[in-house]
Structure 1
Amino acid sequence: MNTVPATASVVIVGAGPAGMTAGIALADAGVNVVLLDKLAEGANTSRAVVVHARTLEVLEQFGVTAALLERGIVVPRFVMRDGDHALARISFDGLPTKYPYTVMIGQESTEAILLARLEKAGAQVYRHTEVTGVGQDADGVTVSYLDADGGANSIRADWVIGADGMRSKVREAAGIGFTGATYPESFVLADVRMTWPDPRDEVSLHLSPEGVTVVAPLPDPRPDRFRIVATVADAPEHQDLAYVQALVDARRPGAHARIEEIIWSSRFRVHHRVADHYRAGRVLLAGDAAHVHSPAGGQGMNTGIQDAAMLGRLLAAVAEGAPEATLDEYERTRRPVALGVVGFTDRVTRMATLRPLPARLIRNLVISTAARIPAFRRALAYQLSELANR
């Protein structure tokens, strides 16, 4: 086990997709960067699975997009349904990008690709290292941590990036508020093997009074692996095959879907929150430490990676002598993006879970009517792909 150095120019707390993206940007610029993560290893489950066009563009500068395409599955269509009735079909074809589609790939694969690139750039992740405190003064920041043996230690840095998730200790230590609320529903997430009537080049969003359900194909040698995300009033701690089958049957009647195996499942609560600021002195935030929201649209990891790419570039410039005011561009640019994503996913989630029949009928009529307009379909595809964030 390697020992964490005593000093670094930048310490990144959290080695998920956002933390590693920032680390790559900094290491490529020759900045001495250290990543700390309390987990003994990276993601070993799929979790976030959608990579949108703008993220593919951003990651192309680091030379990892080709690997994502090689290991993922290209999905150029998005379908919105109520029961077995298609209300809208949205195609990403024709968008002004080299990547007019989404890529479905498990987070464990995304993290493995980013880690290999990070190490190629000369940086390292120190795992099983739990940060316990962050204190800053005029000259730098001291990050306290417990090592793998439980020993207390610290590292001194010029700057710290908190990419340590929704319950960020870095954000808390910096005294930055996290404004928002929690959805009353819980979410079920399951990777399954099943027979499914839709083609494997589309993602479907199902609207129902019981809750919103997303079904998406996942890369696998066998063509029967899918991701299911569903809102429920109160998800059980363990989701067995019968439970997930009942969810699919209720929300896509007539599909004749048959789940054969649950590969992995989980439950979680979803918040919609944005950090009040993205910087406090020498401490900056990225990814889920800065914003969390509904998984509708698969925007979370994408927004975090885009945060981190910009922050890494700006912080590298400051490390090389640019004025600290250069960092002001980060919050000025990226926080409005997060507010927009939170607002968009919140509207989709609330719209999708309408319960009164009259409201659902009106919603369906509005969606199906608007979906006949090419400009509407293009605008929705543009927003989902996050190309407006350029």
Structure 2
Amino acid sequence: MLPERTDVLVVGAGPTGLTAALTLARRGVEVTLVDQRETPAVTSRAAVVHAYTLEVLDQVGAGAPLVARGLRSARFAVRDRDRTLVTVPFDRLPTRHRYALMVSQSVTEEVLTERLAEAGVRVLRPYRLTGLHHGGDGTVADFGGTTVRARWVVGADGINSTVRELAGIPFTGPAGSEESFVLADVRVDSALPRDGASIFLARGGPLVWAPLPDGRVRLVATVTDPPAEPNAAYLQRLLDERGLRQRPDQVREVLWSSRFRLHRRVAGTFRAGPVLLAGDAGHVHSPAGGQGMNLGICDAVDLGQTLADVLAGSPETRLDEYAARRRPLAHEVAGFADRLTRLATAPPSVRPARDALLRLVSVLPPVRQRIALRLSGLNQRRSGLDQRRSGG
């Protein structure tokens, strides 16, 4: 049952919303978390939690239990069929999390939900937001006739955010930026090592091969016109066309599969009065590099800590500073994902030069370290949450 009043209303119980609510609850803030789905999703897009995100989750008590349920990936390889063009190791990252954690988004959500319950907050379902009205001492959120008055509203309700739409915040990106993807969890016979993820650069587009716990493998590929539920034969063709050539993977079982389309978009602002955005409600882009959910979780902890500070007496301008920090990061991450995609889809005439450049990178440890820092998110230390703590 919905409360009549709350300090903070968080709409959307994906990783971003769960993390925002957990951050607030651990600071003693009265928070209400709602989601329009009757039950949590059991299939999910994201499959990697990077080192910086784990550091951020450590701050809210969710890092260690998540690590216990994931698979540590020691490296990231860029391949052209059987050739390894460059390997990016994570073992020299300046963190105690010297790996990328391979774990399904549904498991990440389970861990966050458990920690949130320990903090005394549960997800209220299913409640669909239908209206937002500002005035008086806060905002009235309408859920089909039932209302909640909140001092602050956090939109963590994804790409098609109702909060963002009702707040009148534009969500724009470059023309022609839509991409289509196939996503699947499979069991395969493969010669690829299970302690690292790979991205295959292919004419038809990139193919990501990422190991998950329990012997599963996550496949993500850009395609022009994917079927609604790619079957084993379709996925086998993708692996045959883009993956290993001499010892190709053999698909044994498709655990689940889907397709999705994304535009590269960033919200015009992350704050409109008492309404604040985080995660996919504020930014969407190519999944290349596995950055989207990670950035959303970091948004959530930053926003939760900032809101808790404001409710404890700090000036509201701190929330403008949150928006000013996170929006440039969203643009930077979206640009990075686009560059990875363009690298993968380079035309045949450019590929020899591309491959030669990548092989050069492979023998330059400082360059590989910079790439590892970028993939891991640790390059955000001076522009994200650390900047909030320093007041910069």
Structure-1-length-normalised TM-score: 0.95
Q: Does 1:35 align with 2:28?
A: no
Q: Does 1:65 align with 2:57?
A: no
Displacement of 1:13 in angstroms is 0.4
Displacement of 1:185 in angstroms is 3.8
2:178 touches 2:264 (CA, 8 Å); kept in 1?
no
Farther off after superposition, 366-375 or 84-93: 366-375
2:9 touches 2:32 (CA, 8 Å); kept in 1?
yes
Displacement of 1:327 in angstroms is 1.2
- Helix, strand or coil: the match of 2:113? helix
Matching residue of 2:195: 201
Distance 1:343 1:47 in 2: 20
Q: Does 1:361 align with 2:358?
A: no
Amino acid at match of 2:52: R
Displacement of 1:188 in angstroms is 0.3
Displacement of 1:256 in angstroms is 2.2
Tell me the alpha carbon deviations over residues 166-192 of structure 1, each in whole angstroms, 9 at most, x when there is no partner: 110101111111121454441000100
Tell me the alpha carbon deviations over residues 91-114 of structure 1, each in whole angstroms, 9 at most, x when there is no partner: 011111110110011111110110
Matching residue of 2:390: none
Distance 2:328 2:178 in 1: 25
Displacement of 1:329 in angstroms is 2.0
Amino acid at match of 1:381: A
- Helix, strand or coil: the match of 1:358? coil
Distance 2:61 2:74 in 1: 22
Matching residue of 2:367: 376
Farther off after superposition, 357-366 or 287-296: 357-366
Matching residue of 1:149: none
Matching residue of 2:82: 84
- Helix, strand or coil: the match of 2:263? strand
Matching residue of 1:324: 316
Distance 2:3 2:378 in 1: 39
Amino acid at match of 2:190: W
Matching residue of 1:231: 222
Displacement of 1:138 in angstroms is 4.9
- Helix, strand or coil: the match of 1:71? coil
Displacement of 1:14 in angstroms is 0.2
Matching residue of 1:162: 155
Distance 1:164 1:175 in 2: 15
1:79 touches 1:89 (CA, 8 Å); kept in 2?
yes
1:37 touches 1:128 (CA, 8 Å); kept in 2?
yes
Matching residue of 1:257: 249
2:77 touches 2:88 (CA, 8 Å); kept in 1?
yes
Tell me the alpha carbon deviations over residues 305-345 of structure 1, each in whole angstroms, 9 at most, x when there is no partner: 00000100010111122111121221122111111100000
Distance 1:184 1:341 in 2: 16
- Helix, strand or coil: the match of 1:216? strand
- Helix, strand or coil: the match of 1:134? strand
Tell me the alpha carbon deviations over residues 103-139 of structure 1, each in whole angstroms, 9 at most, x when there is no partner: 0111111101100111111122111111111121252
RMSD: 1.1
Distance 2:42 2:227 in 1: 22
5 Å matches for 1:1-390?
3-146=1-144, 152-181=145-174, 183-220=177-214, 223=215, 225-252=216-243, 253-355=245-347, 357-390=348-381
Displacement of 1:74 in angstroms is 0.3
1:43 touches 1:108 (CA, 8 Å); kept in 2?
yes
Displacement of 1:286 in angstroms is 0.3
Displacement of 1:145 in angstroms is 0.9
1:43 touches 1:107 (CA, 8 Å); kept in 2?
no
Compared CA separation, residues 264 and 360, structure 1 to 2 (3 A): same
Distance 2:113 2:178 in 1: 35
Distance 2:107 2:254 in 1: 19
- Over the matched positions of the two proteins, sequence identity in percent amounts to 50
1:191 touches 1:264 (CA, 8 Å); kept in 2?
yes
Displacement of 1:196 in angstroms is 1.1
Tell me the alpha carbon deviations over residues 7-59 of structure 1, each in whole angstroms, 9 at most, x when there is no partner: 10100000111101110111111111001100111121142110000010001
Amino acid at match of 2:270: Y
